[in-house]
Amino acid sequence: MAGEKTLWISGQLAEKIRAHGAETYPHESCGALLGRDSEATDDNSAREVLALFPLVNRRDDSPRNRFSVTAEDVLDADRAAQKQGLEVIGWYHSHPDHPARPSQYDQDHAWPWYSYVIVSVQNGSPQEMTSWRLNDDRHAFSPEGIKIRHTATV
């Protein structure tokens, strides 16, 4: 039985995703998750976010409930990741005044494998943050646990 997948992230980066959602409220924020995913180890700690690449929401027409990132932005995110020896392992966006659950629209515009992190922002303040992976059949997302990596302080 395949267990629930896990996305590791530092407390600092998790806070940055939440802060970005608050900053763009009432509009949606979005960005790329850069990190590592080792398929070799089927250990649950295989996927970790190590940097963020915040993006500008290109949807001027309905920025409150849509976000859109162009292919050019995706290539920029890829290049930024490569420079740091990382890869794009997923994407984050905010849901202003809505729960941190993927919408049908999210599902129609997703690929499997990527982690999709959603942060709910209520009245300008970030609330629940969740992560999701699209199923192979494209019919639903499965939740992915977010675990905060507490790095040793010097």
Partner 1 sequence: MPVKVIIPTPLRVYAGKRASAEFNAGTVGEALKHLTTEYADLRKHLFTEDGRLRSFVNVYVNDEDIRYLAKENTATKDGDTISIIPSIAGGCCPL
**Residues near partner 1 (CB under 8 A), total:** 36
141 makes contact with partner 1 (CB under 8 A): no
Amino acid at 136: D
* Three-class SS state of 126: strand
Cβ proximity to Zn ion: between 59 and 149 the closer is 59
Contact by Cβ (8 Å): 99, 122 = no
Amino acid at 108: D
Q: Of the ranges 8-16, 44-52, 83-91, 146-154, which one interacts with partner 1 (CB under 8 A)?
A: 83-91
Amino acid at 48: E
* Three-class SS state of 2: coil
Q: Of the ranges 2-10, 44-52, 87-95, 146-154, which one interacts with partner 1 (CB under 8 A)?
A: 87-95
How many Cβ atoms are within 10 Å of 148's Cβ, its own excluded? 13
Pick out residues in 25-44 that bind partner 1 (CB under 8 A). 28, 30, 32
Indicate which of Zn ion, partner 1, none lies near residue 116 (CB less than 5 to 8 Å, by partner kind): partner 1
Q: How far is the CB of 59 from partner 1 (least distance, A)?
A: 8
How many Cβ atoms are within 10 Å of 62's Cβ, its own excluded? 12
Q: What is the DSSP letter of 21?
A: H
Contact by Cβ (8 Å): 6, 47 = yes
Q: Which residues bind partner 1 (CB under 8 A)?
A: 28, 30, 32, 62, 65-71, 73-75, 87-88, 91, 93, 95-96, 98, 102-106, 109-114, 116, 136-138
Q: Which residues bind Zn ion (CB under 5 A)?
A: 106
